[in-house]
């Protein structure tokens, strides 16, 4: 009965809908930031897993978007998956900064002999700030000397701290996986000026994610690490009136991984994404480059993204007895 109570909480959080009014940071290597993509991926590897990623978006723009992510998670027998993650995002001339610290818990069940499920809840503390002194307003301008006068614009609080919540669900077997997730469930007010206002435009809107993929062996070597594996995948994300579809695939052979993706938004084609990865027994390194294909390509140019992962295999006594998700990851 406890399992079904958790399941009802997770599904309620995912399907409860309302208008969406903003956009969270994004990563092209979304499986390299597993707890950010879907909390249900907490503990999914079966090992003690450390992940980190850095994204430098739109390198042709001064004071562009820079996002840093780090997490650690593991599956603990008789308890479930536990994970902690951190995110830092800095954007624009005013250095709008977002810091997030999240705690995730996932639980596991076997639906049938081949199909399994993980579901999760996530609690996040968010801190947002900006540097008002970096802004420039019309009332500061002198015709001859430029920006010399103090502005009469209201400053606002310049710092906000509030809780946030998310949930997720993943169903998988040895060859496929599919998941859904919802973030910003309570749609907290993030305004620096109207902290107590119930208006929609001040809320951090819900972000919905759906993702799925297959693992297709192209060769049949006895040793799985020697096989060539094709992993077509899809990710769809919706937030406010913003919709995004990522389509692509990975090809893995021993230590090397290559990926090619295409990202389409609700209004235009956004980017072609090239990925390369190196996988060693305990360590993974991934790099991707977004080639902007929209009309903004001249001004924004592309985006760099680097990911790192390190895994510690538990001792035989501590090793998880549940089947883990074979998600692709650079």
CA-to-CA distance for 43 and 106, rounded, in angstroms?
7
What is the residue-averaged pLDDT of the chain? 85
pTM of the model: 0.84
DSSP alpha helices (H): ranges in the chain?
2-15, 34-37, 297-300
Identify the residue with better confidence: 92 or 166.
166
Own/partner pairs, 59-63, CB within 8 angstroms, 24+ separation: 59/300, 59/301, 59/302, 59/303, 59/304, 60/298, 60/299, 60/300, 60/301, 60/302, 61/299, 61/300, 62/93, 63/91, 63/92, 63/93, 63/95
Identify the residue with better confidence: 128 or 196.
128
Structure tokens at 94: 């005013």
Q: What is the pLDDT of residues 113-126, one digit of tens each?
A: 889 999 999 999 99
Identify the residue with better confidence: 317 or 299.
299
pLDDT of residue 318: 55
CA 124 vs. chain centroid, Å, equals 13
Q: Is the pLDDT of residue 235 over 90?
A: yes
Q: What are phi and psi of 291, to 5 degrees?
A: -95, 105
Indicate the range of 103-117, 214-228, 232-246 predicted with least confidence: 214-228
pLDDT of residue 299: 78
CA-to-CA distance for 33 and 233, rounded, in angstroms?
15
CA-to-CA distance for 25 and 156, rounded, in angstroms?
23
For each of the domains in the chain, give its residue range(s) and CATH number, in order of start.
2-312 (2.40.160.40)
Q: What is the pLDDT of residues 165-187, one digit of tens each?
A: 999 999 998 889 999 999 999 99
pLDDT mean over 36-65 = 90
3-state SS, residue 44: coil
pLDDT of residue 254: 84
């Amino acid at each position: 009965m406890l399992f079904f109570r958790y399941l009802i909480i997770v599904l309620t959080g995912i399907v409860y809908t309302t208008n969406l009014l903003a956009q969270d940071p994004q990563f092209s290597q979304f499986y390299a930031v597993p707890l950010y993509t879907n909390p249900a991926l907490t503990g999914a590897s079966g090992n003690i897993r450390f992940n980190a990623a850095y994204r430098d978006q739109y390198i042709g723009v001064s004071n562009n978007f820079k996002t840093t992510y780090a997490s650690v998670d593991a599956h603990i027998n008789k308890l479930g998956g536990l994970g902690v993650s951190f995110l830092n995002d800095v954007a624009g001339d005013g250095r709008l900064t977002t810091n997030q610290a999240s705690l995730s818990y996932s639980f596991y069940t076997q639906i049938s002999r081949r199909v399994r499920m993980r579901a999760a809840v996530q609690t996040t503390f968010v801190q947002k700030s900006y540097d008002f002194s970096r802004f420039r307003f019309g009332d500061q301008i002198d015709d001859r000397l430029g920006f010399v006068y103090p502005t009469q614009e209201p400053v606002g609080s310049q710092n906000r701290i509030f809780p946030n919540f998310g949930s997720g669900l993943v169903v998988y077997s040895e060859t496929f996986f599919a998941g859904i997730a919802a973030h910003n469930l309570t749609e907290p007010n993030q305004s620096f000026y109207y902290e107590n206002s119930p208006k929609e435009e001040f809320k951090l809107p819900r972000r919905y994610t759906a993702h799925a993929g297959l693992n297709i062996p192209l060769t049949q070597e006895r040793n799985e690490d020697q096989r060539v594996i094709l992993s077509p995948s899809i990710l769809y994300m919706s937030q406010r009136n913003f919709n995004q579809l990522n389509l692509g695939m990975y090809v893995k052979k021993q230590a090397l991984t290559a990926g090619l993706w295409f990202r389409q938004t609700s209004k235009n084609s956004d980017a072609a994404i090239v990925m390369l990865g190196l996988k060693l027994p305990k360590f993974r390194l991934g790099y991707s480059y977004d080639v902007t294909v929209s009309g903004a390509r001249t001004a924004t140019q592309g985006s760099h993204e680097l990911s790192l992962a390190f895994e510690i295999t538990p001792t035989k006594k501590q090793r998880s007895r549940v089947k883990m998700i074979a998600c692709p990851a650079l």
